[in-house]
Chains A and B, each alone.
Chain A
Protein backbone atom coordinates (compact mmCIF):
# COMPACT_ATOMS: atom_id res chain seq x y z
CA UNK A 1 0.00 0.00 0.00
CA UNK A 2 1.91 2.92 -1.33
CA UNK A 3 0.14 5.67 0.52
CA UNK A 4 0.53 3.84 3.78
CA UNK A 5 4.22 3.42 3.17
CA UNK A 6 4.48 7.10 2.35
CA UNK A 7 2.97 7.81 5.71
CA UNK A 8 5.18 5.27 7.37
CA UNK A 9 8.42 6.76 6.10
CA UNK A 10 7.33 10.24 6.91
CA UNK A 11 8.00 9.49 10.51
CA UNK A 12 10.77 6.96 10.25
CA UNK A 13 14.48 7.60 10.16
CA UNK A 14 16.59 7.09 7.06
CA UNK A 15 17.83 3.50 6.99
CA UNK A 16 20.49 4.31 4.37
CA UNK A 17 22.32 6.24 7.03
CA UNK A 18 23.20 2.94 8.70
CA UNK A 19 26.98 2.77 8.56
CA UNK A 20 27.31 -0.99 8.08
CA UNK A 21 25.64 -1.05 4.66
CA UNK A 22 28.19 -2.08 2.04
CA UNK A 23 28.94 0.37 -0.70
CA UNK A 24 28.03 -1.10 -4.05
CA UNK A 25 29.11 -0.29 -7.58
CA UNK A 26 31.25 2.52 -8.71
CA UNK A 27 31.37 6.01 -7.33
CA UNK A 28 29.41 7.46 -10.25
CA UNK A 29 26.42 5.12 -9.93
CA UNK A 30 24.40 7.16 -7.41
CA UNK A 31 24.85 10.33 -9.43
CA UNK A 32 23.76 8.62 -12.65
CA UNK A 33 20.67 7.30 -10.86
CA UNK A 34 19.88 10.72 -9.41
CA UNK A 35 20.59 12.78 -12.51
CA UNK A 36 17.40 12.53 -14.61
CA UNK A 37 14.95 12.86 -11.72
CA UNK A 38 16.83 15.57 -9.89
CA UNK A 39 17.30 17.47 -13.16
CA UNK A 40 13.54 17.33 -13.67
CA UNK A 41 12.94 18.70 -10.17
CA UNK A 42 15.60 21.37 -10.63
CA UNK A 43 14.24 22.59 -13.98
CA UNK A 44 10.54 22.34 -13.24
CA UNK A 45 10.48 23.06 -9.51
CA UNK A 46 13.53 25.09 -8.47
CA UNK A 47 13.89 27.25 -11.60
CA UNK A 48 10.17 28.15 -11.69
CA UNK A 49 10.37 29.27 -8.05
CA UNK A 50 13.15 31.66 -9.12
CA UNK A 51 11.14 32.97 -12.10
CA UNK A 52 8.18 33.33 -9.76
CA UNK A 53 10.31 35.54 -7.55
CA UNK A 54 11.39 37.51 -10.63
CA UNK A 55 7.81 37.97 -11.75
CA UNK A 56 6.81 39.13 -8.27
CA UNK A 57 9.15 42.13 -8.72
CA UNK A 58 7.74 43.26 -12.06
CA UNK A 59 5.59 46.27 -12.83
CA UNK A 60 3.17 46.90 -15.73
CA UNK A 61 4.93 47.86 -18.98
CA UNK A 62 4.72 51.59 -19.86
CA UNK A 63 2.96 50.68 -23.11
CA UNK A 64 -0.07 49.81 -21.00
CA UNK A 65 -0.60 46.60 -22.95
CA UNK A 66 -2.45 43.94 -20.95
CA UNK A 67 -0.19 41.10 -19.86
CA UNK A 68 3.05 42.99 -20.60
CA UNK A 69 5.34 43.57 -17.62
CA UNK A 70 8.79 44.96 -16.97
CA UNK A 71 11.43 43.58 -14.62
CA UNK A 72 11.84 46.56 -12.29
CA UNK A 73 12.72 44.84 -8.99
CA UNK A 74 10.01 46.75 -7.20
CA UNK A 75 10.08 45.25 -3.71
CA UNK A 76 7.18 47.47 -2.72
CA UNK A 77 4.99 44.97 -4.60
CA UNK A 78 5.20 42.86 -1.45
CA UNK A 79 4.03 45.60 0.88
CA UNK A 80 1.21 46.49 -1.52
CA UNK A 81 0.01 42.93 -1.98
CA UNK A 82 0.19 42.05 1.72
CA UNK A 83 -1.70 45.20 2.61
CA UNK A 84 -4.38 44.71 -0.02
CA UNK A 85 -4.93 41.00 0.61
CA UNK A 86 -4.14 40.70 4.31
CA UNK A 87 -7.74 39.58 4.97
CA UNK A 88 -7.47 36.66 2.56
CA UNK A 89 -3.99 35.75 3.82
CA UNK A 90 -5.07 35.68 7.44
CA UNK A 91 -8.27 33.88 6.50
CA UNK A 92 -6.32 31.14 4.65
CA UNK A 93 -4.19 30.43 7.69
CA UNK A 94 -7.14 30.56 10.10
CA UNK A 95 -9.28 28.22 7.95
CA UNK A 96 -6.36 25.84 7.40
CA UNK A 97 -5.50 25.95 11.11
CA UNK A 98 -9.05 25.14 12.22
CA UNK A 99 -9.34 22.39 9.60
CA UNK A 100 -6.02 20.92 10.77
CA UNK A 101 -7.16 20.83 14.40
CA UNK A 102 -10.46 19.23 13.38
CA UNK A 103 -8.60 16.64 11.28
CA UNK A 104 -6.41 15.84 14.28
CA UNK A 105 -9.45 15.45 16.55
CA UNK A 106 -11.23 13.21 14.03
CA UNK A 107 -8.15 11.38 12.76
CA UNK A 108 -6.40 10.53 16.03
CA UNK A 109 -9.11 8.28 17.50
CA UNK A 110 -9.67 6.79 14.05
CA UNK A 111 -5.98 5.94 13.62
CA UNK A 112 -5.88 4.61 17.18
CA UNK A 113 -8.90 2.41 16.50
CA UNK A 114 -7.33 1.00 13.32
CA UNK A 115 -4.00 0.36 15.05
CA UNK A 116 -5.33 -1.33 18.19
CA UNK A 117 -8.90 -2.51 17.68
CA UNK A 118 -9.10 -3.61 14.06
CA UNK A 119 -7.23 -6.92 14.40
CA UNK A 120 -6.85 -8.63 11.04
CA UNK A 121 -8.92 -5.94 9.30
CA UNK A 122 -6.22 -3.39 9.97
CA UNK A 123 -4.80 -3.13 6.45
CA UNK A 124 -8.25 -3.16 4.89
CA UNK A 125 -9.42 -0.29 7.10
CA UNK A 126 -6.28 1.61 6.21
CA UNK A 127 -7.22 1.21 2.55
CA UNK A 128 -10.70 2.49 3.39
CA UNK A 129 -9.19 5.67 4.86
CA UNK A 130 -7.54 6.50 1.54
CA UNK A 131 -10.39 5.12 -0.58
CA UNK A 132 -11.93 8.59 -1.12
CA UNK A 133 -8.80 9.46 -3.13
CA UNK A 134 -10.00 7.07 -5.80
CA UNK A 135 -13.07 9.22 -6.39
CA UNK A 136 -12.56 12.66 -7.92
CA UNK A 137 -12.11 15.18 -5.11
CA UNK A 138 -14.01 17.88 -6.96
CA UNK A 139 -16.96 15.50 -7.37
CA UNK A 140 -16.85 14.74 -3.65
CA UNK A 141 -16.70 18.42 -2.74
CA UNK A 142 -19.67 19.10 -4.99
CA UNK A 143 -21.47 16.14 -3.45
CA UNK A 144 -21.10 17.78 -0.03
CA UNK A 145 -22.46 21.00 -1.50
CA UNK A 146 -25.56 19.17 -2.62
CA UNK A 147 -25.90 17.06 0.51
CA UNK A 148 -25.71 20.20 2.69
CA UNK A 149 -27.55 22.35 0.17
CA UNK A 150 -30.96 23.97 0.47
CA UNK A 151 -32.81 21.06 -1.15
CA UNK A 152 -30.66 18.47 0.58
CA UNK A 153 -32.13 15.94 2.96
CA UNK A 154 -30.04 17.02 5.96
CA UNK A 155 -30.91 20.71 5.89
CA UNK A 156 -34.61 19.98 5.31
CA UNK A 157 -34.71 17.59 8.26
CA UNK A 158 -32.83 19.97 10.55
CA UNK A 159 -35.17 22.78 9.60
CA UNK A 160 -38.26 20.69 10.19
CA UNK A 161 -36.93 19.75 13.60
CA UNK A 162 -36.18 23.49 14.19
CA UNK A 163 -32.56 22.69 14.97
CA UNK A 164 -31.52 25.44 12.59
CA UNK A 165 -33.63 28.47 11.66
CA UNK A 166 -35.56 28.36 8.38
CA UNK A 167 -33.51 31.10 6.75
CA UNK A 168 -30.11 29.57 7.48
CA UNK A 169 -27.97 27.95 4.82
CA UNK A 170 -25.13 25.51 5.42
CA UNK A 171 -23.52 26.13 2.04
CA UNK A 172 -21.76 29.31 0.92
CA UNK A 173 -20.54 29.81 4.49
CA UNK A 174 -17.37 29.72 6.56
CA UNK A 175 -18.57 26.48 8.16
CA UNK A 176 -18.97 24.82 4.78
CA UNK A 177 -15.47 25.81 3.60
CA UNK A 178 -13.81 24.58 6.80
CA UNK A 179 -15.88 21.40 6.73
CA UNK A 180 -14.83 20.81 3.13
CA UNK A 181 -11.14 21.35 3.94
CA UNK A 182 -11.45 19.01 6.93
CA UNK A 183 -13.09 16.29 4.87
CA UNK A 184 -10.71 16.53 1.94
CA UNK A 185 -7.49 16.48 3.96
CA UNK A 186 -8.48 13.95 6.66
CA UNK A 187 -6.55 11.05 5.05
CA UNK A 188 -3.35 13.15 5.01
CA UNK A 189 -3.69 13.41 8.79
CA UNK A 190 -4.85 9.88 9.55
CA UNK A 191 -2.10 7.98 7.70
CA UNK A 192 0.97 9.48 9.42
CA UNK A 193 -0.89 9.29 12.75
CA UNK A 194 -1.55 5.61 12.15
CA UNK A 195 2.07 4.99 11.18
CA UNK A 196 3.24 6.37 14.46
CA UNK A 197 0.49 4.96 16.71
CA UNK A 198 0.98 1.49 15.21
CA UNK A 199 4.55 1.42 16.48
CA UNK A 200 3.55 2.18 20.07
CA UNK A 201 4.57 -0.60 22.38
CA UNK A 202 1.35 -1.71 24.16
CA UNK A 203 3.44 -2.56 27.22
CA UNK A 204 4.25 1.12 27.64
CA UNK A 205 0.52 1.89 27.69
CA UNK A 206 0.00 -0.84 30.29
CA UNK A 207 2.84 0.53 32.36
CA UNK A 208 1.32 3.99 32.04
CA UNK A 209 -2.05 2.66 33.14
CA UNK A 210 -0.45 1.03 36.19
CA UNK A 211 1.43 4.19 37.00
CA UNK A 212 -1.23 6.84 36.51
CA UNK A 213 -4.48 4.89 36.68
CA UNK A 214 -6.29 7.56 34.74
CA UNK A 215 -6.69 6.94 30.96
CA UNK A 216 -6.56 10.67 30.26
CA UNK A 217 -3.24 11.04 32.07
CA UNK A 218 -1.86 8.06 30.13
CA UNK A 219 -2.95 9.73 26.90
CA UNK A 220 -1.34 13.02 27.89
CA UNK A 221 1.88 11.64 29.37
CA UNK A 222 2.53 8.50 27.29
CA UNK A 223 0.49 8.15 24.09
CA UNK A 224 0.62 11.72 22.80
CA UNK A 225 4.33 12.34 23.43
CA UNK A 226 5.31 9.02 21.84
CA UNK A 227 3.20 9.67 18.75
CA UNK A 228 4.42 13.25 18.36
CA UNK A 229 6.28 12.49 15.08
CA UNK A 230 2.98 11.34 13.56
CA UNK A 231 1.19 14.43 14.86
CA UNK A 232 3.87 16.72 13.40
CA UNK A 233 3.87 14.98 10.01
CA UNK A 234 0.07 14.83 9.84
CA UNK A 235 -0.31 18.47 10.83
CA UNK A 236 2.10 19.57 8.10
CA UNK A 237 0.55 17.34 5.45
CA UNK A 238 -2.88 18.75 6.27
CA UNK A 239 -2.06 22.37 6.91
CA UNK A 240 0.12 23.02 3.86
CA UNK A 241 -2.31 21.92 1.15
CA UNK A 242 -5.26 23.35 3.07
CA UNK A 243 -3.70 26.83 3.31
CA UNK A 244 -3.08 26.93 -0.43
CA UNK A 245 -6.36 25.36 -1.49
CA UNK A 246 -8.93 27.34 -3.41
CA UNK A 247 -11.30 24.66 -4.66
CA UNK A 248 -13.18 24.32 -1.35
CA UNK A 249 -13.55 28.07 -0.97
CA UNK A 250 -14.70 28.39 -4.58
CA UNK A 251 -17.22 25.55 -4.48
CA UNK A 252 -18.46 25.68 -0.87
CA UNK A 253 -17.93 29.30 0.12
CA UNK A 254 -19.33 32.66 -0.81
CA UNK A 255 -17.65 35.96 -1.74
CA UNK A 256 -16.69 36.48 1.91
CA UNK A 257 -14.84 33.18 2.13
CA UNK A 258 -12.21 33.73 -0.56
CA UNK A 259 -8.80 32.38 0.40
CA UNK A 260 -5.40 33.40 -0.90
CA UNK A 261 -5.50 30.65 -3.54
CA UNK A 262 -8.65 32.17 -5.01
CA UNK A 263 -6.94 35.54 -5.27
CA UNK A 264 -3.88 34.05 -7.00
CA UNK A 265 -6.11 32.18 -9.43
CA UNK A 266 -8.20 35.21 -10.33
CA UNK A 267 -5.14 37.50 -10.57
CA UNK A 268 -3.71 35.09 -13.13
CA UNK A 269 -6.76 34.27 -15.21
CA UNK A 270 -9.31 37.03 -14.78
CA UNK A 271 -7.25 40.16 -14.08
CA UNK A 272 -4.02 39.14 -15.90
CA UNK A 273 -1.99 40.69 -13.09
CA UNK A 274 0.94 38.27 -12.93
CA UNK A 275 3.16 40.29 -10.52
CA UNK A 276 0.51 40.40 -7.78
CA UNK A 277 -0.29 36.71 -8.25
CA UNK A 278 3.41 35.86 -8.06
CA UNK A 279 3.91 38.09 -5.01
CA UNK A 280 1.03 36.46 -3.15
CA UNK A 281 2.22 32.94 -4.07
CA UNK A 282 5.64 33.82 -2.75
CA UNK A 283 4.25 35.24 0.49
CA UNK A 284 2.18 32.09 0.98
CA UNK A 285 5.17 29.85 0.35
CA UNK A 286 7.46 31.87 2.58
CA UNK A 287 4.94 31.86 5.43
CA UNK A 288 4.46 28.11 5.11
CA UNK A 289 8.18 27.39 4.87
CA UNK A 290 8.80 29.35 8.06
CA UNK A 291 6.21 27.19 9.81
CA UNK A 292 7.64 24.00 8.30
CA UNK A 293 11.19 24.82 9.35
CA UNK A 294 10.06 25.62 12.87
CA UNK A 295 8.60 22.12 12.91
CA UNK A 296 11.63 20.54 11.26
CA UNK A 297 13.87 21.84 14.00
CA UNK A 298 11.98 19.44 16.21
CA UNK A 299 11.76 16.53 13.78
CA UNK A 300 14.82 16.63 11.47
CA UNK A 301 14.72 16.80 7.64
CA UNK A 302 15.42 13.17 6.89
CA UNK A 303 12.54 12.14 9.08
CA UNK A 304 10.13 14.18 7.05
CA UNK A 305 11.27 13.07 3.62
Chain B
Protein backbone atom coordinates (compact mmCIF):
# COMPACT_ATOMS: atom_id res chain seq x y z
CA UNK B 1 0.00 0.00 0.00
CA UNK B 2 1.45 3.33 -0.97
CA UNK B 3 1.94 5.99 1.63
CA UNK B 4 -0.60 8.22 -0.08
CA UNK B 5 -3.38 5.62 0.15
CA UNK B 6 -2.60 5.13 3.82
CA UNK B 7 -2.81 8.88 4.43
CA UNK B 8 -6.12 8.97 2.57
CA UNK B 9 -7.50 6.05 4.59
CA UNK B 10 -6.45 7.73 7.82
CA UNK B 11 -8.07 10.98 6.73
CA UNK B 12 -11.23 9.15 5.80
CA UNK B 13 -11.40 7.41 9.16
CA UNK B 14 -10.65 10.53 11.14
CA UNK B 15 -12.39 13.15 9.01
CA UNK B 16 -15.04 13.77 11.65
CA UNK B 17 -12.47 14.08 14.42
CA UNK B 18 -10.41 16.54 12.38
CA UNK B 19 -13.58 18.45 11.68
CA UNK B 20 -14.30 18.50 15.42
CA UNK B 21 -10.90 20.02 16.17
CA UNK B 22 -11.49 22.76 13.58
CA UNK B 23 -15.00 23.43 14.88
CA UNK B 24 -13.79 23.76 18.45
CA UNK B 25 -10.98 26.05 17.33
CA UNK B 26 -13.64 28.24 15.72
CA UNK B 27 -15.78 28.17 18.86
CA UNK B 28 -12.88 29.19 21.09
CA UNK B 29 -11.18 31.77 18.84
CA UNK B 30 -12.88 34.88 20.30
CA UNK B 31 -12.46 33.58 23.86
CA UNK B 32 -8.74 33.07 23.28
CA UNK B 33 -8.57 36.58 21.83
CA UNK B 34 -10.30 38.02 24.92
CA UNK B 35 -7.99 36.09 27.25
CA UNK B 36 -4.86 37.27 25.41
CA UNK B 37 -5.97 40.90 25.24
CA UNK B 38 -6.76 40.91 28.96
CA UNK B 39 -2.96 41.06 29.33
CA UNK B 40 -2.60 44.02 26.96
CA UNK B 41 -0.92 47.05 28.42
CA UNK B 42 -1.69 50.76 28.17
CA UNK B 43 -4.26 52.69 26.23
CA UNK B 44 -7.98 53.06 26.71
CA UNK B 45 -9.31 51.16 23.73
CA UNK B 46 -7.46 47.82 23.85
CA UNK B 47 -7.65 47.60 20.03
CA UNK B 48 -4.01 46.96 19.21
CA UNK B 49 -1.37 44.96 21.04
CA UNK B 50 0.92 47.19 23.11
CA UNK B 51 2.84 44.68 25.17
CA UNK B 52 2.31 42.21 27.98
CA UNK B 53 1.27 43.27 31.46
CA UNK B 54 -0.45 41.69 34.45
CA UNK B 55 -1.56 45.11 35.71
CA UNK B 56 -5.16 44.61 34.49
CA UNK B 57 -5.43 41.36 36.42
CA UNK B 58 -4.01 42.79 39.64
CA UNK B 59 -6.29 45.83 39.40
CA UNK B 60 -9.53 44.68 37.73
CA UNK B 61 -11.49 47.66 39.06
CA UNK B 62 -8.99 50.11 37.57
CA UNK B 63 -11.28 51.32 34.79
CA UNK B 64 -14.20 53.54 35.85
CA UNK B 65 -17.62 51.85 36.29
CA UNK B 66 -16.42 48.31 35.46
CA UNK B 67 -16.78 46.91 38.96
CA UNK B 68 -19.94 48.86 39.70
CA UNK B 69 -21.54 47.31 36.59
CA UNK B 70 -20.19 43.88 37.48
CA UNK B 71 -21.54 44.16 41.03
CA UNK B 72 -24.99 45.05 39.70
CA UNK B 73 -24.92 42.12 37.30
CA UNK B 74 -23.95 39.71 40.08
CA UNK B 75 -26.66 41.04 42.41
CA UNK B 76 -29.33 40.84 39.70
CA UNK B 77 -28.10 37.42 38.58
CA UNK B 78 -28.24 35.95 42.09
CA UNK B 79 -31.67 37.40 42.92
CA UNK B 80 -33.18 36.36 39.59
CA UNK B 81 -31.63 32.89 39.83
CA UNK B 82 -32.99 32.23 43.33
CA UNK B 83 -36.54 33.32 42.46
CA UNK B 84 -36.64 31.66 39.02
CA UNK B 85 -35.18 28.40 40.35
CA UNK B 86 -37.74 28.14 43.16
CA UNK B 87 -40.74 29.01 40.97
CA UNK B 88 -39.51 26.90 38.05
CA UNK B 89 -38.80 23.85 40.23
CA UNK B 90 -42.30 24.01 41.70
CA UNK B 91 -43.81 24.08 38.22
CA UNK B 92 -41.54 21.23 37.12
CA UNK B 93 -42.74 19.03 40.01
CA UNK B 94 -46.36 19.84 39.24
CA UNK B 95 -45.88 18.92 35.58
CA UNK B 96 -43.83 15.78 36.15
CA UNK B 97 -45.70 14.37 39.16
CA UNK B 98 -49.32 15.42 38.91
CA UNK B 99 -52.18 15.10 36.55
CA UNK B 100 -54.38 18.13 36.41
CA UNK B 101 -56.74 19.99 34.14
CA UNK B 102 -55.28 22.81 32.10
CA UNK B 103 -52.06 21.06 31.15
CA UNK B 104 -52.04 22.35 27.58
CA UNK B 105 -52.40 26.07 28.44
CA UNK B 106 -49.77 25.63 31.16
CA UNK B 107 -47.33 24.08 28.70
CA UNK B 108 -48.10 26.82 26.21
CA UNK B 109 -47.43 29.61 28.71
CA UNK B 110 -44.09 27.98 29.55
CA UNK B 111 -43.15 27.43 25.94
CA UNK B 112 -44.13 30.83 24.50
CA UNK B 113 -41.54 32.96 26.37
CA UNK B 114 -38.82 30.71 24.92
CA UNK B 115 -40.30 31.05 21.43
CA UNK B 116 -40.55 34.84 21.57
CA UNK B 117 -37.57 36.91 20.44
CA UNK B 118 -35.91 38.81 23.26
CA UNK B 119 -36.60 42.17 21.66
CA UNK B 120 -40.36 41.45 21.74
CA UNK B 121 -40.25 40.39 25.41
CA UNK B 122 -38.25 43.53 26.11
CA UNK B 123 -40.56 45.86 24.18
CA UNK B 124 -43.70 44.39 25.74
CA UNK B 125 -42.39 44.67 29.31
CA UNK B 126 -41.28 48.22 28.65
CA UNK B 127 -44.72 49.21 27.35
CA UNK B 128 -46.29 47.65 30.47
CA UNK B 129 -43.93 49.54 32.77
CA UNK B 130 -44.45 52.78 30.84
CA UNK B 131 -48.25 52.39 30.97
CA UNK B 132 -48.15 51.74 34.71
CA UNK B 133 -45.68 54.56 35.28
CA UNK B 134 -43.21 52.21 37.02
CA UNK B 135 -39.70 53.57 37.56
CA UNK B 136 -37.15 51.44 35.75
CA UNK B 137 -34.32 50.02 37.84
CA UNK B 138 -33.20 46.99 39.83
CA UNK B 139 -36.72 45.73 40.48
CA UNK B 140 -37.83 45.88 36.85
CA UNK B 141 -34.63 44.14 35.68
CA UNK B 142 -35.12 41.31 38.18
CA UNK B 143 -38.80 40.96 37.22
CA UNK B 144 -37.79 40.62 33.58
CA UNK B 145 -34.93 38.20 34.25
CA UNK B 146 -37.06 35.91 36.42
CA UNK B 147 -39.68 35.90 33.68
CA UNK B 148 -37.36 34.65 30.94
CA UNK B 149 -35.46 32.23 33.22
CA UNK B 150 -38.49 30.35 34.61
CA UNK B 151 -39.21 28.39 31.42
CA UNK B 152 -35.63 27.16 31.11
CA UNK B 153 -35.59 26.07 34.77
CA UNK B 154 -38.88 24.18 34.26
CA UNK B 155 -37.53 22.31 31.24
CA UNK B 156 -34.23 21.38 32.93
CA UNK B 157 -35.72 20.28 36.28
CA UNK B 158 -38.68 18.48 34.71
CA UNK B 159 -36.28 16.24 32.80
CA UNK B 160 -34.53 15.29 36.01
CA UNK B 161 -37.73 14.62 37.99
CA UNK B 162 -39.15 12.54 35.16
CA UNK B 163 -36.03 10.36 35.04
CA UNK B 164 -36.30 9.43 38.75
CA UNK B 165 -37.16 5.85 39.53
CA UNK B 166 -40.51 6.04 41.39
CA UNK B 167 -39.64 2.80 43.20
CA UNK B 168 -37.04 4.66 45.28
CA UNK B 169 -39.76 6.84 46.77
CA UNK B 170 -42.11 3.90 47.19
CA UNK B 171 -39.35 2.10 49.08
CA UNK B 172 -38.91 5.09 51.38
CA UNK B 173 -42.64 5.18 52.05
CA UNK B 174 -42.59 1.45 52.83
CA UNK B 175 -39.83 2.12 55.35
CA UNK B 176 -42.23 4.25 57.39
CA UNK B 177 -41.20 7.66 56.05
CA UNK B 178 -44.09 10.08 55.59
CA UNK B 179 -44.45 12.20 52.45
CA UNK B 180 -42.49 15.15 53.81
CA UNK B 181 -39.68 12.92 55.03
CA UNK B 182 -39.54 11.07 51.71
CA UNK B 183 -39.37 14.32 49.80
CA UNK B 184 -36.63 15.74 52.03
CA UNK B 185 -34.47 12.61 52.33
CA UNK B 186 -35.00 10.90 48.97
CA UNK B 187 -36.59 13.02 46.26
CA UNK B 188 -34.80 16.31 46.86
CA UNK B 189 -31.25 14.87 47.04
CA UNK B 190 -31.89 12.94 43.82
CA UNK B 191 -33.25 15.98 41.97
CA UNK B 192 -30.66 18.37 43.44
CA UNK B 193 -28.11 18.05 40.60
CA UNK B 194 -30.83 18.97 38.11
CA UNK B 195 -31.86 21.97 40.19
CA UNK B 196 -28.24 23.06 40.53
CA UNK B 197 -27.75 22.79 36.78
CA UNK B 198 -30.92 24.77 36.17
CA UNK B 199 -29.75 27.46 38.59
CA UNK B 200 -26.41 27.69 36.82
CA UNK B 201 -28.23 28.03 33.50
CA UNK B 202 -30.53 30.72 34.91
CA UNK B 203 -27.59 32.63 36.32
CA UNK B 204 -25.69 32.54 33.05
CA UNK B 205 -28.79 33.66 31.10
CA UNK B 206 -29.36 36.55 33.50
CA UNK B 207 -25.72 37.57 33.83
CA UNK B 208 -25.17 37.66 30.08
CA UNK B 209 -28.46 39.26 29.07
CA UNK B 210 -28.22 42.51 27.20
CA UNK B 211 -31.36 43.13 25.12
CA UNK B 212 -34.04 42.75 27.82
CA UNK B 213 -31.83 44.43 30.41
CA UNK B 214 -31.27 47.39 28.13
CA UNK B 215 -35.02 47.94 27.81
CA UNK B 216 -35.90 47.49 31.49
CA UNK B 217 -32.90 48.88 33.37
CA UNK B 218 -33.34 52.66 33.21
CA UNK B 219 -30.14 54.17 34.60
CA UNK B 220 -28.82 50.99 36.24
CA UNK B 221 -25.65 49.75 34.59
CA UNK B 222 -24.89 46.06 34.15
CA UNK B 223 -21.77 44.37 32.83
CA UNK B 224 -23.12 43.59 29.33
CA UNK B 225 -24.56 47.10 29.16
CA UNK B 226 -21.20 48.53 30.19
CA UNK B 227 -19.38 46.56 27.48
CA UNK B 228 -21.92 47.52 24.82
CA UNK B 229 -21.83 51.25 25.57
CA UNK B 230 -18.06 51.37 25.87
CA UNK B 231 -17.73 49.61 22.50
CA UNK B 232 -18.04 53.02 20.83
CA UNK B 233 -15.15 54.67 22.66
CA UNK B 234 -13.11 51.52 23.34
CA UNK B 235 -13.45 48.79 25.95
CA UNK B 236 -10.97 48.91 28.82
CA UNK B 237 -8.78 45.82 29.22
CA UNK B 238 -10.35 45.30 32.66
CA UNK B 239 -13.59 44.21 30.98
CA UNK B 240 -11.56 41.52 29.19
CA UNK B 241 -10.13 40.45 32.56
CA UNK B 242 -13.64 40.07 34.01
CA UNK B 243 -14.87 38.24 30.91
CA UNK B 244 -11.93 35.82 31.07
CA UNK B 245 -12.28 35.33 34.81
CA UNK B 246 -16.03 34.59 34.68
CA UNK B 247 -15.38 32.16 31.82
CA UNK B 248 -12.65 30.33 33.73
CA UNK B 249 -14.72 30.21 36.91
CA UNK B 250 -17.79 28.73 35.21
CA UNK B 251 -15.60 26.40 33.17
CA UNK B 252 -13.81 25.02 36.24
CA UNK B 253 -17.13 24.51 38.06
CA UNK B 254 -18.81 22.73 35.16
CA UNK B 255 -15.84 20.63 34.05
CA UNK B 256 -15.05 19.79 37.69
CA UNK B 257 -18.56 18.49 38.39
CA UNK B 258 -18.57 16.64 35.09
CA UNK B 259 -15.27 14.89 35.86
CA UNK B 260 -16.37 14.08 39.42
CA UNK B 261 -19.60 12.64 38.06
CA UNK B 262 -17.91 10.44 35.48
CA UNK B 263 -15.41 9.21 38.08
CA UNK B 264 -18.26 8.28 40.43
CA UNK B 265 -20.01 6.53 37.57
CA UNK B 266 -16.85 4.53 36.80
CA UNK B 267 -16.31 3.59 40.46
CA UNK B 268 -19.86 2.34 40.66
CA UNK B 269 -19.50 -0.12 37.82
Binding site for B on A (CB under 8 A): 1-3, 5-6, 8-10, 12, 14-16, 21-25, 29-31, 33-34, 36-38, 40-42, 44-49, 51-52, 54-55, 106, 109-110, 112-114, 116-118, 120, 123-125, 127-129, 131-144, 146-147, 149, 151, 183, 186, 236, 240-241, 243-247, 251, 260-261, 264-265, 268, 274, 277-278, 281-282, 284-285, 288-289, 292, 301-302, 304-305
Closest chain-A Cβ to B16's Cβ sits at a distance in Å of 4
- Please tell me if the beta carbons of B258 and A268 are within 8 angstroms of each other in the complex: no
Taking CB as reference atom, which chain A residue is nearest B16? A113
Note all chain A residues with C-beta closer than 8 A to B127: 48, 51-52, 54-55, 274, 278
Note all chain B residues with C-beta closer than 8 A to A125: 20, 24
Q: How far is the CA of A285 from the CA of B249 in the complex (A)?
A: 36
Residue from B20, B259, B262 whose CB has the most chain A CB atoms within 10 Å = B20
Residue from A33, A149, A261 whose CB has the most chain B CB atoms within 10 Å = A33
Say whether B52 faces chain A, with CB atoms less than 8 Å apart. Answer: no
- Please tell me if the beta carbons of B120 and A281 are within 8 angstroms of each other in the complex: yes
- Please tell me if the beta carbons of A2 and B117 are within 8 angstroms of each other in the complex: no
Say whether B97 faces chain A, with CB atoms less than 8 Å apart. Answer: yes
- Please tell me if the beta carbons of A131 and B109 are within 8 angstroms of each other in the complex: no
- Please tell me if the beta carbons of A139 and B240 are within 8 angstroms of each other in the complex: yes
Binding site for A on B (CB under 8 A): 16-17, 19-20, 23-24, 26-31, 33-34, 37, 47-48, 87-88, 90-91, 93-100, 104, 106-113, 115-121, 123-128, 130-131, 143-144, 146-147, 150-152, 154-156, 158-160, 162-163, 166, 179, 194, 197-198, 200-201, 204, 208, 210-211, 214-215, 223-224, 227-228, 231, 235, 239-240, 243-244, 246-247, 249-251, 254-255, 258-259, 261-262
- Please tell me if the beta carbons of A23 and B94 are within 8 angstroms of each other in the complex: no
- Please tell me if the beta carbons of A143 and B30 are within 8 angstroms of each other in the complex: yes
Note all chain B residues with C-beta closer than 8 A to A6: 152, 155-156, 159, 201
Using known A-B contacts A33-B90, A301-B104, A301-B107, determine if residue A110 contacts B23 with beta carbons closer than 8 Å.
yes
Which residue of B112, B123, B131, B159 is within 8 Å of A281 (Cβ)? B123
29 contacts between A and B (CB under 8 A): A31-B100, A33-B98, A41-B147, A47-B128, A106-B26, A114-B20, A120-B262, A127-B255, A128-B24, A131-B254, A134-B246, A135-B30, A135-B31, A136-B243, A136-B246, A139-B240, A141-B30, A142-B231, A143-B29, A147-B33, A251-B228, A251-B231, A260-B119, A274-B130, A281-B124, A282-B120, A288-B115, A288-B117, A304-B111
Q: How far is the CA of A292 from the CA of B87 in the complex (A)?
A: 26
- Please tell me if the beta carbons of A16 and B211 are within 8 angstroms of each other in the complex: no
- Please tell me if the beta carbons of B115 and A289 are within 8 angstroms of each other in the complex: yes
Which residue of A1, A37, A113, A120 is within 8 Å of B19 (Cβ)? A113
Which residue of B16, B106, B151, B254 is within 8 Å of A127 (Cβ)? B254
Note all chain A residues with C-beta closer than 8 A to B144: 44
Note all chain A residues with C-beta closer than 8 A to B117: 240-241, 243-245, 261, 284-285, 288
Using known A-B contacts A127-B254, A132-B31, A288-B116, determine if residue A3 contacts B109 with beta carbons closer than 8 Å.
no
- Please tell me if the beta carbons of A129 and B34 are within 8 angstroms of each other in the complex: no
Which residue of B19, B123, B198 is within 8 Å of A52 (Cβ)? B123
Using known A-B contacts A2-B200, A38-B91, A124-B255, determine if residue A23 contacts B98 with beta carbons closer than 8 Å.
yes
Using known A-B contacts A41-B150, A128-B27, A137-B208, determine if residue A109 contacts B194 with beta carbons closer than 8 Å.
no
Closest chain-B Cβ to A103's Cβ sits at a distance in Å of 12
Q: How far is the CA of A33 from the CA of B91 in the complex (A)?
A: 6
Closest chain-A Cβ to B193's Cβ sits at a distance in Å of 9
Note all chain B residues with C-beta closer than 8 A to A117: 16-17, 20
Extra contacts besides A3-B197, A34-B106, A135-B30 (20): CB < 8 Å: A3-B201, A16-B162, A34-B91, A36-B90, A48-B121, A54-B131, A106-B23, A106-B26, A110-B23, A127-B255, A131-B254, A134-B250, A138-B224, A138-B227, A140-B31, A146-B33, A268-B123, A274-B127, A278-B127, A284-B119
